[in-house]
Amino acid sequence: MKLTLARRLGHEVHVVDGVGAAVKSIRPWRQRKKRLIQGLSFEQLIERIPRDSDVIGISFMFTHAWPMVRELMLPVASEIVG
């Protein structure tokens, strides 16, 4: 619903579904080899974020994934946000 509202207000919205875009890609996380990551690599995700973005939102479904999400947020902050 928030995306629809943003679009109605004239904002351009881009969504990157990191898992849905590469659902068959499963690999160990380099920080903890027993924990698996499914979907696009962090590099692939970052490549899909428009460089002129004013707002970037990152969501995840499970609390145990926050260390992985934090690892993704650091390069997003440095490469895109600046």
Q: What are phi and psi of 38, to 5 degrees?
A: -115, 135
Give the pLDDT confidence of 21-72 residue by residue, as tens digits: 999 999 999 888 889 999 999 999 999 999 998 888 888 888 888 899 999 9
If you write DSSP's letter for every residue of 16-37 in order, what string do you get?
Answer: --TTGGGTT-EEEETTEEEEEE
- Return the half-sphere exposure (C-beta side, CA atoms, 13 A cut-off) of residue 36: 8
Domain count, the chain: 1
Question: pLDDT tens digit string along 5-14?
Answer: 989 999 999 9
Confidence class for position 1, pLDDT limits 50, 70, 90: low
| pLDDT reported for residue 3 | 83
Supply the range of the domain harboring residue 28. Answer: 2-81
| Contact (Cβ atoms closer than 8 angstroms) between residue 41 and residue 29 | no
Distance, in Å, from the CA atom of 30 to the CA atom of 11, rounded to the nearest integer, reads 37
